């Protein structure tokens, strides 16, 4: 019996089937990696838009001109909050539960701390590591 096993292993090695199987496995792993990278880039683009909308809610006066240029349909804080509500629903497809919960909290009570908490959970979704959150972070009052 062991002679047959040795013979089969020798044939597989000799015919290069082992290399073919290895190449096939590498192909599928690379294909999955490319897909995951594409998803991460899409997620990051979505989160960047949401961050800008959140910032526009917090400081509408400073962002009004830029908003009018890029999104003329968003003429008030309430319009932006409505847009964020739609984004929150869309996030059910790709965001973590913590990110969705924190965006919901931000929509109900838009302030710097809730902005930061939501952004930190988005960062975790993107696997970018942790940063500490406190009320003074990103507070740029002059």
Check if the beta carbon of residue 49 is closer than 8 Å to that of residue 83. Answer: no
The angle formed by the CA atoms of residues 102, 38 and 130, to the nearest 5 degrees, is 40
Q: How many CB atoms lie within 10 A of CB 125?
A: 18
What residue segments make up the domains of the chain, in order of their start? 39-142
Check if the beta carbon of residue 40 is closer than 8 Å to that of residue 126. Answer: yes
Q: How many CB atoms lie within 10 A of CB 88?
A: 18
Lowest mean pLDDT among 25-29, 47-51, 98-102, 119-123: 25-29
What's the pLDDT tens digit per position in 66-98? 887 888 888 899 999 999 999 999 999 889 999
pTM of the predicted protein model: 0.71
């Amino acid at each position: 019996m062991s002679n047959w096993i040795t013979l089969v292993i020798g044939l597989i090695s000799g015919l290069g089937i082992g290399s073919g199987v290895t190449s096939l496995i590498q192909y599928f792993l690379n294909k999955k990696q490319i897909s995951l990278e594409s998803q991460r880039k899409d997620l990051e683009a979505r989160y960047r838009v949401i961050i800008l909308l959140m910032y526009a809610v917090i400081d509408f006066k400073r962002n009004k001109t830029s908003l009018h240029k890029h999104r003329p349909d968003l003429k008030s804080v309430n319009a932006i909050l409505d847009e964020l509500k739609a984004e929150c629903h869309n996030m059910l497809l790709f965001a973590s539960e913590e990110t969705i919960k924190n965006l919901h909290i931000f929509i109900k009570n838009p302030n710097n701390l809730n902005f930061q908490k939501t952004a930190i959970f988005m960062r975790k979704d993107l696997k970018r590591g942790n940063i500490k959150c406190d009320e003074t972070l990103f507070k740029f009052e002059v």
